Structure formats: structure tokens, C-alpha cells
Amino acid sequence: MRVIVQRVKEASCTIANKLYSNIGKGYLLLVGIGLEDDEAIVKKMALKISKLRIFEDEAGKMNLDLKQVGGSLLSISQFTLYADCHKGNRPSFTLARKGQEASDLYNYFNQCLREEGFEVKTGSFGAEMQIALINDGPVTISLEVNDG
């Protein structure tokens, strides 16, 4: 499982020229589900994100987590995180989980985050979406969890 975490001042998802969801301060999550991912891996990633300390404390150190700053989450499914460009210039997505299985694990990921007490907004799985954000910092973290 791969997730890009962007610390944001605000973020939004627009679908078919209509605002679908938005958050203020928090994390924009770009979520990729791989072929080897299962519920245990997804839960591990959700717990990692729930405890991630990338907000600054009064001393200017990244020491505060999302709960401590009252932040929200915008979670966007993004199979392109599994793009493989080793051969040629056109990406292959054979390592990305497809269809209903990917959707189910993405939904489970969001459920796990909600169970940790977070407000989680989403995009629409498989939809053409436009994502806007104001990256705070900028701070962008790439996380990967697998069975190893």
C-alpha cells in the first residue's frame, strides 16, 4: 500500500465541475492499493497515518499529530501510485489492485481512519476527479506499508 500524505491548509475534490468534498487544515491522502495488500496492511497504514506527527509545535518542531491540531482528512484513491515506467515511457499499472477488491480495501482504509476518530472526506472511487490543495510547508510524505 502506498499513500502520499500532504499537509494542507485546505484541499478539495471536484467531480464533473461540482465540488464533491473539501477540508480545511489536515491531510490530503493519495491512496494506492497494490496487488499484495490486504486488510491487515490497510489497517497498519491507517494507524501509521493516525499517529504521524508532521504539524509544528510551539518550538517549530514537527511534533504534533492530526488529532492534536483538530485536522481533517481528504482521502483520494489513486491507482497511478503503482505506475511502473521501467520499460519504455508508457506506465504500466499491473501492480495496482483493480476493481471491487481495490474499492473495498480503500473503503476499509477510510473506515479505519474514522474508527481512530477522524473526519474523513473522500473522492469517488474510479471517477475522474480534480484535486485542489494549498500545501502547508510544503510538507509531503511518501508512505509504503507491505507485508514485509
Residues belonging to the active site: 78-80
CA 19 distance to own-chain centroid: 19
Of residues 71, 77, 82, 65, the one with CA closest to residue 31 = 77
DSSP state letter for 92: B
User: What is the C-alpha to C-alpha distance for residues 104 and 2, in angstroms, rounded to an integer?
Assistant: 16
Interhelix angle 99-115/39-51, nearest 10 degrees: 40
- Asked if residue 138 has a cis previous peptide bond (ω within 30° of 0), the answer is yes
